[in-house]
C-alpha cells in the first residue's frame, strides 16, 4: 500500500513540473541580408527589385503579396515560429510603418532584396546596403529604449538570435553575369574579399550588442534557374552550372573555417554556420523523396528568367507551386523553405 501511495504522489509531482522546452528560445530574432530573408523592406524604397505584387504571396496567410520573394513564408518566418518566445508566425520588415510594440520587442527584419556584402552590389540594384541595414538597427535599438527602457532594450539585443543571409548577389551581379569585379579579382580573391566584408559586418553587429549569430552559406548558385538559363539558354535538358557550384562550395568551406576564428576573437559571442547548399542539392538530386516534380525551372512564367518585376500578375503560373523547388527563377518555394528550415534547425540548435 505504501508503495502505491508513493507512486501516486510521484505522478502528481510529474504533472506539476513545468514542461521543459525541447530547444532554446530567444526573446527576439533580427534579420539582415538579401531577398532570401527580406520580408518586405524593398516595398518602402525606390528600386525595381520588389515582390509586392501577385503572384508573390499567393499562398501566404490571407493570400496577399507582402514583399517576400516566394509564394508564401520564408525560412526566417518559419525559424521565428520555432525559436522565438511567445507566438511569432512572421517577421515584420523594419520599414513597415506602425509596427506594434509587441512585434518590435520580438524582432524585425532589416534585409533588402538584391543586396550583398559587397557595397557595389547594392549600388547596382539600388537597394539597402548592409551599412544602411546597420543604421536601421541602431534606430531600432533606440525605439526599444524609448518603449521598454534601456535595460530591457539591452537584454533583448544581447539575447536575440541574429540571422545573416547574403552573398549570392555578389557573385551573380559582380562576378558571373556582370563581370565588374572580375576585372580586379580572381574567384579566390573575391571570395576572400566577401568574407572580409562579412567579418567587418559581424564586428559592427557585436559592437551594437549582438552575441548570437547564424551566418548562412551560399546555395548551389549554379542550380538557380536563372543561372542555368544564362549558361544553356534552353528549357529542356537543363543541368546545373557545375563551375559555379564548385566555387560556392569553396566559399562555404572558407566561411566554415573562418567563423570559429572570429567567434574566438569576440568575447561571449556564439557564431554558427548554417548550411543551405547541401539541403538544396539533396532536393535537386532526389526530388521525389521530398515530393517535388520540378527543380530546374521556376513556377512563375517560363521558369527560365522570371523574377521580381518580370514575375507579374499577368505571368502564367504552374498549377501546383508545392511541386516546384523554385517559385521564380531565383527563389525557393515555401515548401522548399520549410525543408531547409528543418535542416537548419537540426544544424544549429545544439550550438547556440
Binning the chain into helix, strand and coil, the percentages to the nearest 5 are 50, 10, 40
Handedness of CA 242, 76, 156, 145 (dihedral sign): positive
Residues linked to residue 214 through DSSP beta bridges, in sequence order:
163, 272
* Alpha-carbon distances of 81 from 29, 89, 302, rounded to whole Å: 10, 5, 33
- For residue 323, which of 281, 290, 347 has the smallest C-alpha distance? 290
Residues 304, 297 contacting (CB under 8 angstroms): yes
Q: What is the DSSP string of 254-286?
A: HHHHHHHHHHHHSTT-EEEEE--HHHHHHHHH-
Handedness of CA 145, 148, 149, 150 (dihedral sign): negative
Among the listed residues 34, 328, 329, 333, the single catalytic one is 328
| 328 is a catalytic site residue | yes
- For residue 31, which of 115, 118, 152 has the smallest C-alpha distance? 115
Handedness of CA 309, 314, 316, 319 (dihedral sign): positive
- For residue 242, which of 281, 288, 283 has the smallest C-alpha distance? 281
Residues 97, 41 contacting (CB under 8 angstroms): no
Grid coordinates representing 210 are: 549582438
Among the listed residues 35, 112, 163, 333, the single catalytic one is 35
Neighbour tally for 44: CB within 10 Å: 17
| 19 is a catalytic site residue | no
Among the listed residues 170, 210, 331, 333, the single catalytic one is 331
Q: Which residues are catalytic?
A: 35, 328, 331
Amino acid at each position: 500500500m505504501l508503495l502505491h501511495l508513493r507512486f501516486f504522489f510521484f505522478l502528481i509531482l510529474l504533472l506539476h513540473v513545468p514542461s521543459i522546452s525541447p530547444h532554446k528560445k530567444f526573446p527576439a530574432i533580427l534579420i539582415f541580408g538579401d531577398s532570401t530573408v527580406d520580408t518586405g523592406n524593398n516595398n518602402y524604397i525606390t528600386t525595381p527589385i520588389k515582390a509586392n505584387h501577385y503572384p508573390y504571396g499567393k499562398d501566404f496567410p490571407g493570400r496577399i503579396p507582402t514583399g517576400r520573394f516566394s509564394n508564401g513564408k520564408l525560412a526566417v518566418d518559419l525559424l521565428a515560429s520555432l525559436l522565438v518566445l511567445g507566438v511569432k508566425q512572421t517577421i515584420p520588415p523594419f520599414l513597415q510603418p506602425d509596427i506594434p510594440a509587441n512585434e518590435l520587442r520580438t524582432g524585425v527584419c532589416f534585409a533588402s532584396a538584391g543586396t550583398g556584402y559587397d557595397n557595389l552590389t547594392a549600388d547596382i540594384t539600388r537597394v539597402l546596403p548592409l551599412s544602411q541595414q546597420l543604421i536601421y538597427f541602431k534606430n531600432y535599438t533606440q525605439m526599444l529604449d524609448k518603449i521598454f527602457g534601456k535595460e530591457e532594450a539591452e537584454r533583448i539585443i544581447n539575447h536575440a538570435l541574429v540571422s545573416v543571409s547574403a552573398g549570392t548577389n555578389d557573385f551573380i551581379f559582380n562576378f558571373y553575369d556582370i563581370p565588374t569585379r572580375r576585372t580586379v579579382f580572381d574567384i579566390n580573391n573575391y571570395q576572400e574579399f566577401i568574407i572580409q566584408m562579412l567579418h567587418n559586418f559581424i564586428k559592427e553587429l557585436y559592437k551594437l550588442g549582438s552575441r548570437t549569430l547564424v551566418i548562412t552559406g551560399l546555395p548551389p548558385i549554379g542550380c538557380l534557374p536563372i543561372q542555368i538559363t544564362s549558361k544553356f539558354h534552353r528549357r529542356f535538358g537543363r543541368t546545373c552550372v557545375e563551375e559555379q557550384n564548385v566555387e560556392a562550395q569553396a566559399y562555404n568551406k572558407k566561411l566554415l573555417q573562418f567563423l570559429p576564428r572570429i567567434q574566438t576573437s569576440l568575447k561571449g559571442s556564439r557564431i554558427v554556420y548554417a548550411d543551405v547548399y547541401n539541403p538544396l542539392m539533396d532536393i535537386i538530386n532526389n526530388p521525389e523523396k521530398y515530393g517535388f516534380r520540378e527543380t530546374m525551372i521556376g513556377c512563375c512564367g517560363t521558369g527560365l528568367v522570371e523574377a521580381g518585376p518580370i514575375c507579374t500578375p499577368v505571368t502564367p503560373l504552374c498549377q501546383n507551386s508545392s511541386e516546384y523547388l523554385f517559385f521564380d527563377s531565383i527563389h525557393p518555394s515555401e515548401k522548399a523553405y520549410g525543408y531547409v528550415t528543418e535542416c537548419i534547425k537540426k544544424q544549429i540548435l545544439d550550438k547556440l
